[in-house]
Amino acid sequence: MAELAGLLRVTPGGLTRIIDRTVDRGWIQRDRPAENRREVYAVLTAAGHDLLRSARQTYSRVLKEMISGQLNDGDLSALLGVSQKLMEGLDPDPGSSCGK
């Protein structure tokens, strides 16, 4: 949870409130590993995965609608290349699940 708060640039207390709301909605559950009960993980539920999938589809559609008329094929190719470099910089471990 502390790592997530840092990534989101919110305080631990702010993250707790965000997580509380998403737990109440059934999108996330808290998980504490048996070997270290001080750690808390936020884990997507099946409903959370469904919501994320739906949000990605909507986001992708809106993004495509917004840029498709503004950029030609060369521009889109350049944008893809830059985006991939940015994602690699955010997630230096290509085997991780970040961004998937």
For residue range 20-39, what is the model confidence (pLDDT) as tens digits? Answer: 999 999 999 999 988 988 88
Interatomic CA distance for residues 63 and 47, integer angstroms: 24
Domains of the chain by residue range = 1-44, 46-93
pLDDT digits (tens, 9 = 90+) for 63-86: 888 887 788 889 888 988 999 999
Q: What is the dihedral of CA 84, 90, 92, 93, to 10 degrees?
A: -90
Length of the chain, please? 100
